[in-house]
Amino acid sequence: MRKPIRLVISLLLLSYGLIRLGVGGALLGQEIGLLEFHAFQEPINDIHGFLVKSSSKQIIPFSVAGYVSYIALMGVVLAVGALGSLRNQLYGLKWIGAFLAMYALLFVNFQTINPKAIHLAVCAVLFSVLLWVRKGSGSAA
């Protein structure tokens, strides 16, 4: 019963990671002028406004390009972790844990809590279930 749980959660996390990578990459392309889609301009403007508004609270200042690059990198880290989890490899859990740390560091850096904290909480719960599944499968960690 634990293997299907691991597979479903891993596929969910892989999908989420690929979405973060795709969105972050597309927004980065828009920001640096490689892409020109009208639909991407509003999110770029929103990110810029958020970064300006929070500039006095940021521990490490971000540009729009830096922020969306970080989002894309988080997607890569999560996707690698999910693929490792699909293969039932320990490195998968380590990469997923790194993704969670990267996500949490965003909240620390901006010294804010917003509705995106729900995404982090859901991912943390899914990670906890993966840890439970791995522990119960008899795999040595």
pLDDT of residue 134: 86
Provide the 10 A C-beta neighbour count for residue 104: 13
Instruction: Quote the tokens at residue 122.
Output: 């859901």
pLDDT of residue 140: 46
pLDDT of residue 137: 67
DSSP H helices, 32-116, are 38-53, 64-86, 90-110
What is the rounded distance in angstroms from the CA atom of residue 127 to the CA atom of residue 94? 10
141 residues of the chain, pLDDT tens digit each: 789 999 999 999 999 999 999 999 999 999 999 999 999 999 999 999 999 999 999 999 999 999 999 999 999 999 999 999 999 999 999 999 999 999 999 999 999 888 999 999 999 999 999 999 988 765 544
What is the rounded distance in angstroms from the CA atom of residue 16 to the CA atom of residue 10? 10
Strand, coil or helix: what is 36? coil
DSSP states of 113-131: --TTHHHHHHHHHHHHHHH
Instruction: Quote the tokens at residue 46.
Output: 């929103």
What is the rounded distance in angstroms from the CA atom of residue 10 to the CA atom of residue 6? 6
pLDDT of residue 14: 98
pLDDT of residue 138: 57
